[in-house]
Amino acid sequence: MSRAKILNLTLLCLLISACSLLDPFVDRRREAGAPTMDKLYVGKSKPEAPAICYNKWTTDFETIQNMADEECRKHKTGNHAIQTKETLFSCRLLLPHHLYFKCEQ
């Protein structure tokens, strides 16, 4: 199989799965069996400071703000989230933006 065919096949697979790969998400994973609470969460997001990975081309800021507000309410660390910083290329390839928030009352 030639390189051009492999490249085309790879791009086709990427395009087919792109819809599910572009959904924003809270950058938090749980470490099962963690001995203490401070080692329970892995990732940049904390209960009092959500961090969300997203793509500016496919997701608007209001959606990201609602996700952050919901995280603050879910963990009972505040009523709404305030944006503190944004980084680029610190998340996944198709979701390159990282937006950081801080929960406040």
Q: How many domains does the chain have?
A: 1
Query: Phi and psi dihedrals of 51, rounded to 5?
Result: -125, 130
CA of residue 103 relative to chain centroid, distance: 16
**Domain span holding position 40:** 24-104
Asked if 28 and 45 count as a contact pair (C-beta separation under 8 A), the reply is: yes
Distance CA 11, CA 54 (A): 21
Q: What is the pTM of this model?
A: 0.71
Q: What is the pLDDT of residue 12?
A: 78
CB 105 within 8 A of CB 89: no
DSSP 100: E
* pLDDT the model gives residue 105: 84
Residue 14 within a domain: no
Does any domain span residue 3?
Answer: no
Is residue 13 in some structural domain?
A: no
Query: Is residue 17 situated within a structural domain?
Result: no
| Per-residue confidence in pLDDT tens, the chain, 105 aa | 788 888 988 887 777 665 566 788 888 766 677 677 666 666 777 888 999 999 988 899 999 999 999 999 998 888 999 999 999 988 888 888 999 999 998
